[in-house]
Structure 1
Amino acid sequence: MAVEAELKAHVRHPDAVHERLASRAEEQVQTYRDRYFDQPTGELTAQDYEVRLRTVEDECSAKTVLTFKEPAVHTSGSKPEYETEVADGASVAALLSGLGLIERIAFSKHCRNYRFTESGYELLATLVHVPELEGTFLEVETQVGRTEDVPAGLAVVRAVLNSLGIVEDDLTTEQYTDAVAARRTRTANVE
């Protein structure tokens, strides 16, 4: 089991953050097409579990990844995570459906990924734009082997965020699934 030690922030100055990240690592531009599954009652979401089927596309290729996340083990929202690449996303979606899960929400994320090492930790920093949401977000994460290692991993993540000009007030624990669902509800109520 790996635990994803991650912090997410609203980015006030996307161009400046982009420049700082580009000076650290090569940029990889990708689109994530995320589909989240749950029981019809919403029980998995209510208990803070996540089942996600993600198709990752770049200009040359596409791959599909199945992810299962357990409930958060830290106030940051960091979660134990199990992930595997799958050969056929449609077959996995059919499997999930056959097990009684339904697609709860689906949306796309446009991502600029930067991979680098800091203080002995392999990090992934991602500038994110979700077309349905305003603004740009930054996710910085590392994988740690045990729940007890999350604070140390987060300390490195926080130091990277600080070096990019991200301050404590910029951090958010709101999930994209909740923000997109709320936006869709507001839009439906206006129409």
Structure 2
Amino acid sequence: MPEAELKARVRVPEDVTRRLEARGAGRAEVYQDTYYDDQARTLAARDAELRVRTVHGAGGTRSLLTFKDATVDEASGSKPEHGTRVEGVEALHETLRRLGYIPVIAFEKRCRNYDIRARGREMLATLVRVPEIDGTFIEVETLVEDGAAVEDALKDVSDVLAELGVGEGDMTSELYTDAVAGI
């Protein structure tokens, strides 16, 4: 299912946090992400991603396997995502390695997540810090039924970001994977 997601650098994290907290309580979570590809980097060549994410939070620990297909909106970098929760994450890592996939990058995201409802949509707003990258980011995303609906959903996401005090000049399509890798 495609997601409509926008990401921005946050100039004054305290202001954005205050506006988000006014919409509801957030939850602190730490994501441990490992991205896989094969030796020939065929996933990267077709703009796809294979990720194992382990999320640690107050509600416990959960792991997810996610495949992201090629970008459906160049400006935002929105991609269709297919994922599932998995048990036995170490067995999953070993399975991927035995299938010929290798970890190409791993990093941690320190997040504060807010489930919000806006413009008739369920959205997730996430304040993000990645230790290897300077600054704070915000991601706001919502799922859409098909790629044709992404444009309307991105407009709604953009409106929510504006309400949070994030301007168009703050938007970025920079990938955490590229920034951590120094690309």
TM-score normalized with structure 2 length: 0.97
SS of match in other structure, 2:174: coil
C-alpha deviation, 1:165, in angstroms = 1.1
Count of aligned residue pairs for this structure pair: 182
Task: Give the aligned partner of residue 136 of structure 1.
Answer: 136
2:92 pairs with 1:104: no
* Separation in structure 1 between the aligned mates of residue 46 and residue 59 of structure 2, nearest angstrom: 38
Partner of 1:119: 119
Partner of residue 40, structure 1: 39
Residue equivalent to 1:9: 8
Give SS of 2:180's match. helix
In structure 1, the residue corresponding to 2:23 is in which secondary structure?
coil
Greater shift after overlay, 83-92 or 41-50? 41-50
Counterparts of residues 73-88 of structure 1 (less than 5 Å): 73-75=72-74, 76-88=76-88
Measure how far apart 1:60 and its partner are.
Answer: 4.3
Alpha-carbon RMSD across the aligned residues, in angstroms, is 1.0
Aligned to 1:188: none
Q: Percent identity?
A: 47
Other-structure match for 1:61: 60
**2:23 aligns to what?**
24
Shift of 1:46: 2.3
Name the counterpart of 1:161: 161
Q: Which runs of 5+ in 2 are unaligned?
A: none
1:186 maps to which residue? Answer: none
Aligned AA (1:98):
R
Structure 2 residue matching 1:10: 3-state secondary structure: strand
AA aligned opposite 2:153: G
Per the TM alignment, residue 59 of structure 1 is displaced from its structure 2 partner at its CA by: 3.2
Hey, what's the Cα distance between the residues in 1 that align with 2:63 and 2:20? 26
Residue deviations 1:40-86 (CA, integer Å, cap 9, x gap) = 12221121100000000013410000000000011211111001000
Q: Unaligned stretches of 5+ in structure 1?
A: 184-191
Structure 1 residues 66-113: Cα deviation after superposition (integer angstroms, max 9, x where no partner): 000000011211111001000111111111111110000000000000
What CA distance in whole angstroms lies between the structure 2 residues aligned with 1:29 and 1:102?
Answer: 29
The equivalent residue for 1:189 is: none
Partner SS for 1:100: coil
Q: Offset at 1:4?
A: 1.0
